[in-house]
Amino acid sequence: MGGSLIAACHAVVARDLLIALRHRSDVLTTFFFFVIVVSLFPLGVGPEPDTLREIAPGVVWVAALLAAMLSLARMFGADYADGTLEQLVLTPQPLVVLVMAKVTAHWLTTGLPLVLIAPVLGLQFDLPADALATLLLSLLIGTPALSLIGAVGTALTLGVRGAAALTALLVLPLYVPVLIFGAGAVAATAAGTGAAGHLSLLGAMLLIALVFAPWATAIALRISLE
């Protein structure tokens, strides 16, 4: 049973990564949206280093949040349209575990590229090395939480007209704490006060999302398919 479950999860992740590779434009759209939004702020605000360092945490985190929301539709949308999602629900493996596999694939194609490019973009804001390291760590902790929370909202709005707008309304209030503590961690490091408290709360949010979001997503998927 354990081997078949691992094989099923591997198959789901591999399939979603292959689909993302075949539809690179969707992945690149999210990536370049993040890069362009972050890069435009230094051009619009001006070259004053103190101002750039002050706005950097909020700008990068808001851009990451919006980029994550931009990619939510493809987490379950295509599978719902072609009937694959129904087959996943009918498999003997627990749907909760398969949901985790799909969220993992979504984060690998959406969240991880943002995490890796963020420190490079942070150089535009004249962030010091320790703040860049905190930015990387906060996004590494926070972006999986965004994917997990977004999965719940996406599952609840499957097949509904105007699903993208409804998903945004559902997930934005839940994204706000992640945004606050993620940006706060970077700002605290830049100010020299330490980011341990912010990162701890961010980690706690990720753990809560890991425990509850897959179950809520699985239940929402079953409801949407009925």
Using the 8-state DSSP alphabet, how is residue 128 labeled?
Answer: -
Q: How confident is the model at residue 118 (pLDDT cuts 50, 70, 90)?
A: very high
Mean pLDDT of 43-70: 89
Letter string b/e over residues 18-32, b meaning 16 or more CB atoms within 10 A of that residue's CB: eebeeeeebbeebbe
Cβ(22)–Cβ(114) below 8 Å: no
pLDDT, one tens digit per residue, over 59-116 is 999 999 999 998 888 888 878 878 888 888 888 888 899 999 999 999 999 999 999 9
